[in-house]
Amino acid sequence: MRKTFEIFYNSLQFAIGELSKNKLRTFLSLLGITFGIFCIISVMATVSSLERNVQNEFKSFGNNTVYIQKWAWGGGSDYPWWKYMSRPVPRYREMQPVKDKTTLAAYVAFTFATNASIDYEDETLSGVNCFGITEEYDKIQPVEIGSGRYLTPAEFAAGSSSVVMGHVIAEKLFGKAENALGKSISVKGKKATVIGLVKKQGQNILGGWDFDNALLMPYLFAGTFANERNSDPFILVKGREKIPVEDLKNELRGIMRGVRRLNPKQEDNFALNDVSTGTAQLNSIFGGVTIGGIAITILSFIVGIFGVANIMFVTVRERTSIIGLKKAIGAKSRTILLEFLMESAFLCVLGGIIGLLLVFLLTFFLTSVLKFEVAISWGLFLGAVLTCIITGILAGLIPAFIAARMDPVVAIRSK
């Protein structure tokens, strides 16, 4: 074991020495490996970070939550939008029958979103997203309050003009978000009082429940200045613990068909959407991107092998006489083989490390520009290092075998 370690150590020292002597050749070889690793890891890190953030945002919609809507989630050229266009939108009056008849749901809520202008003294914000919600909304979609309080059941029942404000809107209107508490504002001409602030969420990719830029208010109050039919309304249903979402959807389908009095021959005129629908589509999209990334990796892998192998063939030819001398004084073939493999692997690993350092710098830049954090996972990091080692070994394998099998007399005379 000790002898093997000494061979590895001496081979590594020799490889470093030889690489330092041929700086231009080493630089050109490193450039190819560095560029290859930089391209591969930067693309894969960005794609995996994007996928992770999108999946997390989808999970925020609720893994066991069903959205009863007019439109089915999806898209593409085969999306039957003409069929959905004539459907009626879910109505507030349909929420209670669903709540009364369901046995698999824990909570049911109704909500719609509308844009409105908000005024406070001389400040005006246009196009603010206002969510008109019912009492059990926060049980389905958690609302984390940063300061102040949330809406009470009495305020929901009375259609109170109390509102919960998003952090970004509060900063725009009042300079400092905390200054919004207790203030009286005008929402599309209707007076309202700010009773709470949603804890700052930060940017998200899908938009979704962008509470930073929204107002939450009782449905009955929102209905005084907006028409729910024109505001993309929907019913949210959260299933009980350990209830499969498909079972919940099947029950809701029967309830909604009864509420809308559809006969057995009529198609559903509503959509039952859940996170698994969007997740499946995302998995398909990112699966294709991942396959593309793997294809790029394999191509770069092959190009890297040929590039480093070419350098190693030249190196063997230059050191032919030195190899002969080493073998003449007792160096074994495996020692010569190991020296060249170590040099090839070290060259690739060094280029890979430089490439990874450049990717780390790139992630800081991308994180500041994009709406999500770009990071290199440990899996990608270890995969990059392993790829470099394998590339180095494969690239140096044939040149190393040629060097190891040289006849010492012929090698010495070649000088």
Q: What are the φ and ψ backbone dihedral angles of 344, each rounded to 5 degrees?
A: -65, -45
Say how many CA atoms lie within 13 Å of 33 toward its Cβ.
Answer: 34
Tell whether 379 and 320 lie within a shared domain.
yes
What is the tally of structural domains in the chain? Answer: 2
- If asked whether residues 249 and 382 sit together in one domain, one would say no
Convert the pLDDT of each residue in 23-72 to its tens digit.
776 777 777 778 778 877 887 787 777 777 766 665 555 568 899 998 88
Residue with tokens 């006489």: 321
Are residues 128 and 225 in contact, defined by beta-carbon separation less than 8 angstroms? Answer: no
How far apart CA 245 and CA 251 sit, in angstroms, is 10
- For residue 189, count CB atoms less than 10 angstroms from its CB and return exposed for 0-12, middle for 13-18, buried for 19 or more: exposed
Do 135 and 258 lie in a common domain? yes
Tens digit of each residue's pLDDT (9 = 90 or more) over 62-83: 568 899 998 887 665 667 777 7
Whole-angstrom distance, CA of residue 225 vs CA of residue 210: 21
Give a yes or no: residue 62 inside a domain.
no
Q: Last residue of a domain, which of 215, 241, 269?
A: 269
Predicted structure pTM score:
0.62
**Together in a domain, 140 and 178:** yes
Domain check: are 229 and 330 in the same one?
Answer: no
> What's the mean pLDDT in 144-153?
91
pLDDT digits (tens, 9 = 90+) for 311-352: 788 778 877 888 788 777 877 887 788 778 877 887 788 888
* pLDDT tens readout for residues 346-389: 778 888 888 888 888 888 887 777 766 777 778 878 888 887 88
Please tell me the distance from the alpha carbon of residue 185 to that of residue 193, in angstroms, as a whole number.
Answer: 6
Task: Give the other-Cβ count within 10 Å of 329's Cβ.
Answer: 8
pLDDT at 76: 58
Q: Answer positive or negative: Cα dihedral of 94, 97, 102, 107.
A: positive
Q: Are 248 and 275 in contact (CB under 8 A)?
A: no
Looking at the structure, tell me whether residues 321 and 206 fall in a common domain. Answer: no
| Domain match, 335 and 399 both | yes
292 near 142, Cβ under 8 Å? no
Contact indicator for 371, 203 with CB cutoff of 8 Å:
yes
Determine the straight-line distance between the first and last CA of the chain, rounded to whole angstroms: 36
CA-CA-CA-CA dihedral for 214, 215, 220, 222, to nearest 10:
-70
Domain end call among 248, 269, 290: 269
Q: Please give the pLDDT value at position 237.
A: 93
Burial code (b: 16+ CB inside 10 Å, e: under 16) for 304-316 equals bbebbbebbbebb
Range(s) of the domain holding residue 149: 88-269
- Same structural domain, 264 and 284: no
Is beta strand 190-198 parallel, antiparallel or unpaired with respect to 105-120? unpaired
Same domain? 359 vs 240: no
Using alpha carbons, select from 268, 234, 260, 271 the residue that is nearest to residue 71: 271
| Same domain? 254 vs 105 | yes
| Pair 152, 255 in one domain | yes
